[in-house]
Structure formats: structure tokens, C-alpha cells
């Protein structure tokens, strides 16, 4: 499943989707794990807050006749907003998956799980294949002698080794000046003596 698919699964199914992403998929990267952990944090917090508000509301309704049902609605609306923000971050493939406030809490709770997960691996290079033959395109081909079966034009190990490190450095060859080279200088002297 793609990274976006895992993130959507985590946020839409809450803590169940987060657990599925964490434990059913072995190819998770750090962002996948963070989104799953963040979805678990959001949904467990919403569930716990709803239960606490329901108990408090029941006690207050019994004692005073006042209900806190509207607080439950506020918690549910906050939960929906956080899920939508998480989905937007997943679908936009944002570099930082952290949601406001919840992201820091998630990092503290799931620090070990998040840090043991590797970063996203770079995409593997793909080879181009000829659709007719199924052979790779632009791959170097070895040429073989049909009589001997030996490779042709293969470099020998000696040619790949480079210069011998123990050998004395070669001095550059000096070119000998031709004997005629001195004569033009003499001609110039003769020309300079002439007056115009």
C-alpha cells in the first residue's frame, strides 16, 4: 500500500487504522509511523474525553439535573477537525506530519517507535526493457570471439592498475632545437644594423 493510503487508513479508522498501519505493514517509513501514532493519539484522546465527560455529565444530571452533552459535541468537532488536518497533511505529502499540540504529545508517547523506524528510502533505479525482447536497453554488451569463446576488447588487469607507484618518475623529454634555429637570430642582428 502507498504511503498516502496508509495515512488515510490511519486517520479514517482511528486507533484501529493506526494499529493496522503499525503492525500489518512492514515497509513503513518514519512519516507512515508518525501518522499512524498521531491517529492513535487523537482517537484515544477523543474516546477517553468522551467517556470522562459522559460520567461527569451523568453524575451532574443525577445530582443537579444539568447535562454536559454539549461538551461531548465540542470534543467530537475537535476530533473531526484534527482528522481532517491529518488527512490534508497526508494527501499533500507534507514534510512535517506533526499536527498542532497533538504532534508534540504523539512524539513524547511514541518516541521509541518513531525513532526506530528508518527514513523513507530513495526510489530504486528502474531499468528500461525492450518490450519486444524483454532485454534491458542500453546495457553494455560483452563481445565474444566465436572461435574461442573469449571476450574481445576486454581491458587486462594490468591496464586498469594505473602507473606503478614504485617506478621512478619519468622526466619530460626535451626537444632538440634544430641547427637552423640559431640562424634567424643572426639575421635579425644584421637587419638591425641597417639604417633607413
- Which long-range contacts (C-beta less than 8 Å, at least 24 apart) are formed by 49-54? 49/75, 50/75, 50/76
Q: Which of 42, 44, 49 is nearest to 103 (CA)?
A: 42
Domain ranges across the chain: 3-115
| In the predicted structure, residue 88 carries a pLDDT above the cut 90 | yes
pLDDT of residue 115: 83
Determine the 3-state secondary structure of 11 from DSSP: helix
Residues 60 and 66: beta-carbon distance below 8 Å: yes
The gap from C-alpha 94 to its chain's centroid, in whole angstroms, comes to 13
The three grid cell numbers given for residue 141, joined into one nine-digit string: 554488451
pLDDT of residue 36: 92
Least confident of 21-25, 61-65, 145-149, 186-190: 186-190
pLDDT of residue 133: 73
Q: Taking the CA atoms of 87, 90, 95 and 97 in sequence, report the sign of the dihedral they define.
A: positive
pLDDT of residue 150: 74
DSSP per-residue letters across 111-132: HHHHHTSPPPPPPPP---B-TT
The three grid cell numbers given for residue 55, joined into one nine-digit string: 460520567
| In the predicted structure, residue 50 carries a pLDDT above the cut 80 | yes
pLDDT of residue 45: 95
pLDDT of residue 42: 95
| In the predicted structure, residue 121 carries a pLDDT above the cut 60 | no
Higher pLDDT, 36 or 147: 36
pLDDT of residue 128: 66
| In the predicted structure, residue 71 carries a pLDDT above the cut 60 | yes
The gap from C-alpha 88 to its chain's centroid, in whole angstroms, comes to 20
Q: Could you read off the pLDDT of 183-194 as tens digits, one per residue?
A: 555 555 555 555
Of how many residues is the chain composed?
A: 196
| In the predicted structure, residue 102 carries a pLDDT above the cut 60 | yes
| In the predicted structure, residue 89 carries a pLDDT above the cut 60 | yes
What whole-number distance in Å separates Cα of residue 176 and Cα of residue 50? Answer: 99
pTM as predicted: 0.57
Count of CB atoms situated within 10 Å of the CB of 80: 11
Residues 64 and 45: beta-carbon distance below 8 Å: no
Per-residue confidence band for 155, with pLDDT thresholds at 50, 70 and 90:
low
Q: Taking the CA atoms of 56, 61, 66 and 71 in sequence, report the sign of the dihedral they define.
A: positive
Amino acid at each position: 500500500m502507498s504511503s498516502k493510503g496508509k495515512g488515510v487508513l490511519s486517520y479514517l479508522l482511528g486507533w484501529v487504522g493506526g494499529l493496522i498501519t503499525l503492525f500489518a505493514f512492514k515497509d513503513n517509513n518514519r512519516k507512515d509511523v508518525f501518522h499512524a501514532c498521531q491517529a492513535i493519539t487523537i482517537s484515544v484522546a477523543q474516546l477517553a474525553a468522551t467517556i470522562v465527560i459522559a460520567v461527569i455529565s451523568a453524575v451532574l444530571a443525577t445530582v443537579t439535573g444539568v447535562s454536559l452533552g454539549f461538551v461531548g459535541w465540542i470534543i467530537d468537532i475537535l476530533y473531526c477537525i484534527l482528522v481532517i488536518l491529518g488527512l490534508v497533511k497526508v494527501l499533500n505529502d507534507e514534510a512535517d506530519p506533526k499536527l498542532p499540540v497533538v504532534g508534540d504529545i504523539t512524539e513524547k508517547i511514541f518516541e521509541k517507535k518513531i525513532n526506530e523506524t528508518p527514513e523513507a528510502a530513495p526510489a530504486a533505479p528502474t531499468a528500461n526493457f525492450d518490450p519486444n525482447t524483454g532485454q534491458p536497453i542500453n546495457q553494455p554488451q560483452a563481445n565474444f570471439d566465436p572461435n574461442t569463446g573469449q571476450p574481445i576488447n576486454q581491458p587486462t588487469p594490468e591496464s586498469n592498475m594505473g602507473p606503478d607507484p614504485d617506478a621512478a618518475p619519468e622526466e619530460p623529454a626535451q626537444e632538440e632545437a634544430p641547427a637552423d634555429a640559431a640562424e634567424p637570430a643572426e639575421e635579425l642582428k644584421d637587419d638591425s644594423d641597417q639604417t633607413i
